[in-house]
Amino acid sequence: MVAVVVALVMAVLAMAIAGGDDRDRDGRRVPVDGRAAGKDSGDKPYRARTGVLLAGPASPEEDNATFRKLVSLVRETPEGERIRIVGNSFSFVPVAEELVAAHRRGVDVQVVVDRSESGDWVAPALLRDELGTDVGARSSLRLAAGDLHQKTWSFTRTGSTRDVVLVGSMNLTYQSARQYNDVVVYVGDRDVRRIFDRRFLQLRRELPGVGPAGPVELGADRAWFFPGYDQVSDPVRQQLAAVPPEGARIRVVMYAWLDARGLGLAQLLAAKDAAGADVEVVLGKSTGPQVREVLEASGVEVHPGVLDDGDVHHKLTLVSHPGDSSDTGPVRFVLTGSDNYTTKSLDRPELLMRLDGSVDRRHERYDRWIDQLIARDD
């Protein structure tokens, strides 16, 4: 019995992520091989793990470890349980096929994705044909208007694990598998799962005119559901402005960074750097020329986010500082989710997460990840 428990504790889950805001080619029917199976080695029950999933591009795309992870989660969801997915674009056929199979074995499969990004792909067509579009049914697909950009999955149970939620910057597309992304995994917390379920129902009911929600507490973490903010109430700007510059380190990896909001955040970071903070940025494919000019003309250390094997799709900001009189010690947190540094992000359904960096050494793991991204350009 002890040996079985030790083996379960030591089992390591593959960690990966992918995403893509731009439309990619239509979904291909790609078989999912046995490496995506949802069982641990032998006959041990499948268990999801809490933590942060980080990975880069995969070739071929169906080998992306995060998509393998999702296939495993879906495959191991038993009859009578529920899967809910919110997404921007969805073209990855193997995930759609697993969702269809789950529905056929008695799982409630409910999906809401953006119509303008996903309406033409094969994957949603498979779901529409099998699940239908009646949101009152136990399973359904809704292709929603409203520029939906949030990316979350939730499971009432998968394998032996209850209340699993994944939140990140990824899309369910082949393009996703060719980019660098991150996902945060919550396991065994019913309150967290119910928060995301409530937002799912609100999106399904209210889009395209959905209202904001938050900030909401997720244990040591916090979440903001956009829209509903402007450049004054912008939670990213408020949190960065509050960072005391002396002794602070701020690292940003951003796919899209442009327009008035992006320029304002670039100027804020340049000022923090000038006041004594150590600011470093990795600029993704959609960086505006004015933003780049401000950052490169300042003391901010700038690195490219378009690499030989793929580009960064993160919406990631790491902050650490010694703290001030209101803090009990050093402060470390991570901002991530689906929110790019753009005005457009404030005006559409997005998700911004603030992660307590001390939990599961998340800040440290992200910090090493950024080091690896920068080293790939050397």
Paired strand residues for 145? none
Q: Are residues 146 and 235 in the same domain?
A: no
Q: Are residues 279 and 349 in the same domain?
A: yes
Q: Are residues 160 and 260 in the same domain?
A: no
Residues 193-225 have pLDDT tens digits of: 999 999 999 999 999 999 888 799 999 999 999
Q: Of the residues 134, 167, 190, which one is the last residue of a structural domain?
A: 190
Q: Are residues 165 and 253 in the same domain?
A: no
- Establish if 31 belongs to a structural domain: yes
pLDDT of residue 182 exceeding 80, the answer is: yes
Q: Are residues 158 and 239 in the same domain?
A: no
Nearest to 155 by CA among 197, 120, 201, 106: 197
Q: What is the DSSP string of 249-297?
A: EEEEEEEEE-HHHHHHHHHHHHHHHHTT-EEEEEEEEEE-HHHHHHHHH
- Contacts for 314 with CB less than 8 Å, ≥ 6 apart: 169, 180, 181, 182, 253, 254, 255, 282, 284, 336
Average pLDDT of the chain? 88
Q: Are residues 184 and 230 in the same domain?
A: no
**pLDDT of the residue at 13:** 29
- Angle (CA) 118-120-126 rounded to 5° is 80
Contact between 66 and 17 (Cβ < 8 Å): yes
Q: How far apart are CA 59 and CA 200, in angstroms?
A: 32
Helix (H, G, I), strand (E, B) or coil at 175: coil
Q: Of the residues 170, 190, 210, which one is the last residue of a structural domain?
A: 190
Element (H, E) at 213: strand 213-218
Q: How far apart are CA 85 and CA 95, in angstroms?
A: 11
Q: What is the pTM of this model?
A: 0.87
Nearest to 86 by CA among 111, 108, 53: 111
Paired strand residues for 337? 352
**pLDDT of the residue at 27:** 36
Q: Are residues 13 and 128 in the same domain?
A: yes
Q: Are residues 30 and 171 in the same domain?
A: yes
Residue 219, sorted as left (phi over 0), alpha (psi -120 to 50) or beta, turns out to be left
pLDDT of residue 16 exceeding 50, the answer is: no
Helix (H, G, I), strand (E, B) or coil at 116: helix
Contact between 334 and 317 (Cβ < 8 Å): yes
Residues 307-326 have pLDDT tens digits of: 999 999 999 999 999 987 77
Q: Of the residues 145, 170, 190, which one is the last residue of a structural domain?
A: 190
Q: Are residues 131 and 243 in the same domain?
A: no
- Establish if 217 belongs to a structural domain: no
Q: How far apart are CA 275 and CA 248, in angstroms?
A: 10
User: What domain range is 93 assigned to?
Assistant: 2-190
- Establish if 199 belongs to a structural domain: no
Residues 248-304 have pLDDT tens digits of: 999 999 999 999 999 999 999 999 999 999 999 999 999 999 999 999 999 999 999
Q: Are residues 148 and 288 in the same domain?
A: no
- Hey, what are 32's tokens? 């999912």
What percentage of the chain exceeds 90 in pLDDT?
A: 77
- Establish if 358 belongs to a structural domain: yes
Residue with tokens 């700038």: 302
- Establish if 161 belongs to a structural domain: yes
Q: How far apart are CA 232 and CA 117, in angstroms?
A: 30
Residue with tokens 């393009």: 175
pLDDT of residue 21 exceeding 90, the answer is: no
Q: Are residues 301 and 158 in the same domain?
A: no
Element (H, E) at 35: none
- Contacts for 149 with CB less than 8 Å, ≥ 6 apart: 21, 88, 114, 338, 345, 348, 349, 350
Q: Are residues 238 and 322 in the same domain?
A: yes
Residues 87-124 have pLDDT tens digits of: 999 999 999 999 999 999 999 999 999 999 999 999 99
Band (43; pLDDT cuts 50, 70, 90): low
Q: How many domains are contained in the chain?
A: 2
CATH of the domain at 231: 3.30.870.10
Nearest to 156 by CA among 132, 128, 187, 135: 187
